[in-house]
Amino acid sequence: MNYTQTFTIAGKDAHRVDGIEKVTGKAVYTGDIELPAMGYAKILRSPVAHARLLKVDAAKARELPGVIATLTRDDIKEFNYKYGATYKDQSIVAVDKVRYVGDPVAAVMAEDPAIAEAALDLIEVEYEEVPKVTNIEEATAPGAIQVHEGDVARAELRGSTYGAPPRFNGTNICYYLGFGRGDVDKAFAHADHVFEDTFRFQKVQHYSLEAHISIASYDGEKLTVWASCQDPFTLRDHLSGIFRLPLSRIRVIVPYVGGGYGGKLYVKAEPIAAALTWKTRRPVKLALSVNESFKTVTRHPARVTVKTAVTKEGRLLARECQIFMDTGAYADAGPRVTQKAGYRSLGPYKIPHAKVEAHGVYTNTVPAGAFRGFGALQVTWAYESQMDMIADRLGIDPLEFRLKNLLKKGDLYTAGDTPVDCDLEEGLRRVAETIKWQERDTKPNRAKGLSCCIKDGGGTYKVAGATVKMSSDGSVVLLTGTVEVGQGPRTALSQVVAEELGLSLDQITVAQLDTDVTPYDISTSASSSMVVMGLAVQRAAQDAKRQLFQCAGKVLKQKPEDLFIQNGEIHSQNGQSISYSKVIVDFFGSKAGEIIAKGLYKDKRSKKAVLGSTATFWEIGWGGVDLEVDPETGVVHLLNYVSVCDTGKAINPDQCIGQDEGAVMFGIGHSLMEEMVYEDGQLLNGNLVDYRVPTFRDLPDGLHTILLENGNGPGPFGSKGIGEGGLLPVASAIANAVSRAVGVRIQDLPLTPPKIWRALQAKAEEQTKGQAEARLKTG
């Protein structure tokens, strides 16, 4: 990549190609689709957290006029009804047991949704309740009842070994990762300082404005599914397994998606819709309510204990992380999230000795799965809080403490992985400068906080293909499997094509995502699309260019390698030029045919890498906040928030800023207010009103995203993926600032006003008590 090159369209704030559709309400989402003879499904969900299913009888429901079909455990035996993102521990509807409040027990398909809803009441179910475990402590207590019976754990040891992995027979631990390097025990024994602190992350939900929805239609030969999902090819794979159909006989179409954030990865309620259409041979729409989405997937609550050894000079020496991730009643992506939480728990620092143990824990709560940040969020919250706590204890400036320990560009996060691809110090200094770190906080109850987090971008192994289809007028349809979840890939990827082929954006459109015709893409996740799909798209455009040059070479009687593109025409060194259209028409001998070009991207597999494949790129989150705490109420008021976002090269700067600001707001949510509140296993606030997310009123007074564009990304024109980085530092930056402002350290999220207020009260009581004791002593 010659970064001195000038760009025509890449780097411009092009208007969103899906903008008009969306602002005019024309954009089609799954819910907008109606099919002839379509039925509507509703799900009967368990009202209890843990019970044996003694009886499920839908006979009376079937008799209700308008009911087309019911689905219970009696109907699913013909399928491979057990499935799951990582473990096959879920079934289409419950068979022997229910494991959380909301677990699907049965479904009804009816002529309209109201009839389906009414029919649910007619299904007779008998539950025999058994004890439940609803959090990490209960689930890991000795003798705790098992959510899934048997030896459910998979254990992995990576990096330096600690002997055989522990055995978790008969427990609720479903996944374990142990990895490390050096010798932490020795390092802790000899360190100047060792600090051990425990942090907790609450249960939060993705809160997509569009709840989970799918339409399934099986005609006896092909199963077609319209789904609001982020990885249609993975969904196709799961359905292929469940219904024993070749992949080519399953077609997944993805209309626009109204938010995903990881909650629409893998497989959710789609098998219920598919089983109903299989049974009835009629299309069926299964639209979950927001409350049902809350009962479908969440983020993992976590308990993270970080033990860190530091030299007296303030250098990190060793770190041990004990991580427990509550994956709820079914594994979903939990084992992978737990693995990544473990891998990502060391932070952007040089730490010679490390030991990590990460545990995935089954509980009788809603399954937890992939969620923006994917395990990183829980551990960054912990390690960046602890960094300030250590700095405080050692009396070092938190900025200086971090700068002293940061990885440098080219350093290895772990052996075998991609070297760090950016200057961490640059980003952190930009945050500090912008937030005016060096200026003293003069007002009472006001302070600044910093945080710096690292995450392997791309996450898991990635594969993506793309096709560029150029018609005889030179205009292009781009086929890409990246899902437009709102993050803007249609625009950015179109810009890549436009830049590469010298076209204007209005000559390019993006085809509907349809697994039948769209080249394979593994998933829209892990901030990966700009690099992974971006490169596939760029290569497809380059292939189109190569084909055009070959044809043009014949027409112009020039060597293809002597041709170049300017303003959407092909030029020769000797001044001839020819339009794409003329090249194509000439080649096909008519205004017919087209250029079909393809591109492919595959991540590198590496046996040396701790997790088997290397980071596609490194995604960094640098955040700084200036805030004020109202000591009377505990309310945190955000005066200014600064985020630095390493884009490598921003293909569409406006969209990058939008993405990063969105990430910050997302972070503000779980930092200050979001939490799924349970009582006796029952969710109390599973709706858009009671579950409080940030609104415009919660925006910081100032919100600044700084784009770094050093051309250091592996993506097209030096770009990198973004979208999660901005989220990671928010909670710790805020908690760090609160601590500096009012002297209370909150270690369990969210930092709600009552929690801060109580901590202030406790602190005041402590002080009063201390003063009283002092008075007593001196008295």
Residues that bind a copy of itself in the complex, under the rule CB under 8 A: 17, 20-21, 24, 26-28, 32-34, 36, 217, 219-222, 233, 237, 240, 246-249, 251, 281, 461, 463, 465, 467, 469, 471-477, 479, 506-509, 511-512, 514, 516-520, 522, 588-594, 596, 598, 600, 602-603, 605
Please report how close the Cβ of residue 502 comes to a copy of itself at its closest, in angstroms.
15
Q: Which is nearer to a copy of itself, 15 or 408 (CB)?
A: 15
Q: Which is nearer to a copy of itself, 255 or 715 (CB)?
A: 255
Beta strands in 684-763 (DSSP E): 702-708
Q: How far apart are CA 493 and CA 500, in angstroms?
A: 11
Please report how close the Cβ of residue 566 comes to a copy of itself at its closest, in angstroms.
19
Q: Which is nearer to a copy of itself, 405 or 482 (CB)?
A: 482
Is 439 exposed, middle or buried (CB count within 10 Å of its CB: 0-12, 13-18, 19+)?
exposed
Please report how close the Cβ of residue 429 comes to a copy of itself at its closest, in angstroms.
39
Tokens coding 74: 């009696």
DSSP 713: S
Q: Which is nearer to a copy of itself, 512 or 767 (CB)?
A: 512
Q: How far apart are CA 555 and CA 727, in angstroms?
A: 53
Contacts of 495 (CB under 8 A, 6+ apart): 9, 10, 12, 14, 505, 651, 652
Please report how close the Cβ of residue 11 comes to a copy of itself at its closest, in angstroms.
22
Please report how close the Cβ of residue 251 comes to a copy of itself at its closest, in angstroms.
8
Q: How far apart are CA 32 and CA 609, in angstroms?
A: 45
Rg (CA), the chain: 28
Q: Which is nearer to a copy of itself, 273 or 735 (CB)?
A: 273
Cβ atoms 332, 266 nearer than 8 A: yes
Q: How far apart are CA 445 and CA 742, in angstroms?
A: 5
Q: Which is nearer to a copy of itself, 237 or 426 (CB)?
A: 237
Q: Which is nearer to a copy of itself, 253 or 737 (CB)?
A: 253
Three-state SS letters, 191-249: CCEEEEEEEEECCCCCCCCCCCEEEEEECCCCEEEEECCCCHHHHHHHHHHHHCCCHHH
Please report how close the Cβ of residue 21 comes to a copy of itself at its closest, in angstroms.
5
Q: Which is nearer to a copy of itself, 168 or 587 (CB)?
A: 587
Q: Which is nearer to a copy of itself, 155 or 463 (CB)?
A: 463
What b/e string do you get for 624-649 counting C-beta neighbours within 10 Å, with b at 16 or more? bbbbbbebeebebebbbbbbbbbbbb
Please report how close the Cβ of residue 754 comes to a copy of itself at its closest, in angstroms.
45
Contacts of 580 (CB under 8 A, 6+ apart): 470, 474, 548, 568, 569, 570
Q: Give ∠ CA 277-278-284 in degrees, rounded to 5.
A: 5
Please report how close the Cβ of residue 684 comes to a copy of itself at its closest, in angstroms.
35
Q: Which is nearer to a copy of itself, 325 or 479 (CB)?
A: 479
Is 131 exposed, middle or buried (CB count within 10 Å of its CB: 0-12, 13-18, 19+)?
exposed
Q: How far apart are CA 176 and CA 605, in angstroms?
A: 22
Q: Which is nearer to a copy of itself, 130 or 517 (CB)?
A: 517
Please report how close the Cβ of residue 376 comes to a copy of itself at its closest, in angstroms.
22
Q: Which is nearer to a copy of itself, 582 or 602 (CB)?
A: 602
DSSP 519: P
Cβ atoms 739, 451 nearer than 8 A: no
Please report how close the Cβ of residue 606 comes to a copy of itself at its closest, in angstroms.
11
Tokens coding 554: 């014949």
Of residues 346, 358, 420, 328, the one with CA closest to residue 102: 328
Residue 548's H or E segment, with its range, is helix 529-556
Please report how close the Cβ of residue 595 comes to a copy of itself at its closest, in angstroms.
10
Q: Which is nearer to a copy of itself, 476 or 537 (CB)?
A: 476
Please report how close the Cβ of residue 117 comes to a copy of itself at its closest, in angstroms.
22
Please report how close the Cβ of residue 336 comes to a copy of itself at its closest, in angstroms.
14
Q: Which is nearer to a copy of itself, 36 or 142 (CB)?
A: 36
Please report how close the Cβ of residue 277 comes to a copy of itself at its closest, in angstroms.
10
Contacts of 363 (CB under 8 A, 6+ apart): 133, 134, 135, 136, 138, 139, 147, 172, 326, 327, 328, 329
For residue 750, whether the previous peptide bond is cis, meaning omega lies within 30 degrees of 0, is yes
Of residues 771, 421, 453, the one with CA closest to residue 618: 421
Q: How far apart are CA 88 and CA 650, in angstroms?
A: 40
